[in-house]
Structure 1
């Protein structure tokens, strides 16, 4: 069975949610989702991977990208070594830490990210939303330390809508672009979510 999803023109996270709904209807088969931008494409490919489905881009032209997702048997599940990771998610919504003086808040958030690199176990994920995406795109000190965490297996996820809003989509230096669906699922599935 083949199901086609036209997700062109839909705002994040609708392409992912619409694709997931169609995949849930299938025991075995193919979903082909068409989107009109690279962020949506990457989010669909990440969804497929998270659901242990095979996926590939079958057509890519300007403003027209089709992704084929196969659901069924014979899917190889890739497992990461997570011995130094704890089932925690850190949600950061600002490039500052705490309320009060902004300059002090920027110093504190740099110190926080650095301290994460010095304490184990590391969290499984760091979610960056709103002004928090500046930490993965603009702030050299935090980018350097986020790279250390990423190399150790921590998933660094920056909200694509937020990157677009701040004009930072092309400046992302560490981690990957994500969507609201993945952010919500990450928070729900984590044993503990820490909000900064």
Structure 2
């Protein structure tokens, strides 16, 4: 089976991959055609969450991810979500103007000293810019959090909107499927 996920907006490539896997018969091969770095990383992370073996063939501006389904896919489950905290950032500031930028910096710097840190930080809208620009006032604070082991994800569609997909310096490219899984999972969501 082959599915064409080229030019599909996030999170469609992950959703189409999930549907195709559910319909795949035993020992049948699935090929996923992709032409965006964000989509490729999101599909790969999704397949890893299912503990599936796959291989990637990169061709010029496209990639083909191939999987062979062995056994019963009903036995494959995504990672169980445990109780943990997730920080959801919708902006690169908390409030407006210079005060808002200073507040974001203060919150991120203080976060590293808290006894209960988030497991993940999910960045959407212009908060993704913190992770792409070394000169952003909150960049170093976010980098410190990553160095502490906090998983940081920047929305792939947001990065593409700002033309910053290739500039990501902190964390990984995320997608709406993962973000919604967190928001509706067992995680406690803290939003700034």
TM > 0.5 fold call: yes
TM normalised by structure 2 equals: 0.84
Partner SS state of residue 118, structure 1 = coil
Report whether the alignment pairs 1:131 with 2:126: yes
CA contact (8 A) 2:83 2:186 kept: no
Cα distance in 1, alignment partners of residues 91 and 45 from structure 2? 25
Q: Which runs of 5+ in 2 are unaligned?
A: 72-78
Shift of 1:64: 2.5
Q: What TM-score results when the alignment is normalised by the length of structure 1?
A: 0.83
Q: Tell me the residue number matched to 2:190.
A: 194
Structure 1 residue ranges (4+ consecutive) displaced by more than 3 angstroms after TM superposition: 25-30, 70-73
Q: How many angstroms apart in 2 are the aligned matches of 1:110 and 1:5?
A: 43
- 1:166 shift after superposition: 1.6
Could you report, residue by residue, the CA deviation over 1:65-113 in whole angstroms, capped at 9, with x for unpaired residues?
Answer: 100134447xxxxx9xxxxx97111110101103xx4110000001111
Check if 1:160 corresponds to 2:156: yes
- Secondary structure (helix, strand or coil) at the match of 2:118 reads strand
* 8 Å CA contact retained: 2:83, 2:188: no
**Displacement after TM superposition at 1:26 (Å):** 4.4
State the shift of 1:195 in Å. Answer: 1.1
More strand by share: 1
Q: Distance in 2 between matches of 1:158 and 1:21?
A: 24
Are the aligned partners of 1:6 and 1:35 in contact in 2 as well (CA < 8 Å)? Answer: yes
Unaligned runs of 5+ in 1: 74-78, 80-84
RMSD across aligned positions (CA): 2.2
1:195 to 1:5, Cα distance in 2 relative to 1, 3 A = same
Q: How many pairs were matched up? A: 181
